[in-house]
Structure 1
Amino acid sequence: MTFPALTHVAITVTDLDASTRWYTALLGAEPVLDEDEASGTFHHAVFALDGGTLFGLHTHTGAAATETFDERRTGLDHVAFAIGREELDGWVTKLNELGIPNSGVKDAHYGSGISFRDPDNIALEFFAPPA
C-alpha cells in the first residue's frame, strides 16, 4: 500500500474577501466553490489547481483570530506550489506586477524557489526540484 497524495490544503484567513481577491489575482482563476460549510462552523472559498489539488481559504464562525501567521509556531511552515525551473523567472515577473514582495529566485542543491507571503503573512513558495 502506498501513501496517498494530498487532495487539498486549507488555510485560515482573517479577511476572506480580501484573501479571495488576492489569491484570484495570483492564481488567475476564480474559486470553484464559495460557500458556508454544511456544519455552519466555517465558510470556504476553494480554488482548483493544476493536477487536481484543491486550495481552500477558510474563515471560522465565532471569535476571529487576532494573530498573523508565524512559521516558527507549531503547525504549518509554508505551502509550496510545484513548477518547473524554467517557469521561475516568469513567476518573479508576475509577482512583481501584482506588487507582491518576493525573494527572487533562490537556488539550492535540493531545488530552486521563490518565497513570498499572502495578506495574512502565510509563507508561500514556488518550488522547482532539481532536474
Structure 2
Amino acid sequence: MKSRHVSRVIGASPAAVYEYAADVGNLPQWAAGLAQAEVVRDGDRLLVDSPMGRVEVRFVERNQFGVLDHDVTLPSGTVVTNPVRVLAHPDGAEVVFTVRQIELDDDEFARDVNLVAADLERLERQVSQHS
C-alpha cells in the first residue's frame, strides 16, 4: 500500500484553520472528496454522500494539537484511517493530509491525491473568506 502526504499552506492561524476544518457542518464547502451534501449526524457517527457512495465518518475528538484524523467506512465495509494535521507554519498554518492507497489501483490513487489537493485548496479559500 502506498501513502502520499498532500499539504497546503494557508495564510491564517493554525487555530482558525483547525476550527473551520473541525466543524463538520463546513465539510460540504471544502471537502468535496468526502462530503457532497449536508452531513447527517447519527449519534457520534457522521453519514455523508461522497463520490464513493454513502460513507460513515468518525473524527477524533477536538483537541489542542491540530489533529483532524478521521476514519471513513467505505460502502464495502473497509475502514480507511485518514491522518490530518494542522501545523504552525511561518506563513500561517500548514494542513497535511496523508492519502493511503486502499482498494484503489494506481490511477484511482492518483485521482484521490488530486482530489485531496483540490479539497485543501478549497479549504484555504473558505478559511480566507471566514477570517
Short-chain TM bin: 0.3 to 0.5
Higher helix share: 2
Tell which has more relative contact order, 1 or 2 (C-alpha 8 A, sep 6+): 2
TM-score, normalised on structure 1?
0.36
TM-score, normalised on structure 2?
0.36
